[in-house]
Amino acid sequence: MNGERYRVATGLGYDCHRLVAGRPLVIGGVEIPHTHGLLGHSDADVLTHAIIDALLGAAGMGDIGQHFPDTDERYRDADSIELLRATVGMLVERGSVVEHVDATVVLERPQLAPYRAAIHARLCTALGVDADRLNVKATRGEGMGFIGRLEGAAALAVATVTLPSGPAAKG
Ligand code: MG
């Protein structure tokens, strides 16, 4: 795939959201029972947002705010999994292939381990990839910074995408 007609690109994604009482905690499209949830215009799914930005980065297509602006009422309380599906759709339309995504959620609590399989399955379906093309990890803030103080959560993602190259791929 690394010949004349295709090139491999990587993209980086980062997102963070404030943790507040009385909001659902949605991570990777899975609602996790907890006293607090993430605050945002959409469902504030921090992991899915980081993955969307990583994919857009790899494809050279800007960022999540350009495609799904938080000033747009259409995206109020939006299901971020649908935004991820739309993002993958835009890539596929351009002839791109999602090769691999690796992601890390940084959250002090609750522990994500019991939900990791469900998150992985949900994201693989939305990405349209086999299970071995997505890896999801979780870590904590160890009591430090805004994550350690339970003020918010963050996520990072790296996406590897094969893009058609050459003049036909422009635009
Ligand atoms: Mg976000």
Q: How close is the Cα of 108 to the center of ligand 1, in Å?
A: 18
Q: How close is the Cα of 105 to the center of ligand 1, in Å?
A: 13
130: CATH = 3.30.1330.50
Helix runs in the chain, H state only: 46-59, 64-67, 80-93, 116-127, 145-148
Q: How close is the Cα of 1 to the center of ligand 1, in Å?
A: 32
Q: How close is the Cα of 40 to the center of ligand 1, in Å?
A: 7
Q: How close is the Cα of 45 to the center of ligand 1, in Å?
A: 6
* Domain-embedded: residue 1: no
Quote the pTM value. Answer: 0.93
How many domains, the chain? 1
* Domain-embedded: residue 47: yes
The pLDDT tens digits of the residues spanning 111-153 come to 999 999 999 999 999 999 999 999 999 999 999 999 999 999 9
Q: Is the peptide bond before 110 cis (omega within 30 degrees of 0)?
A: yes
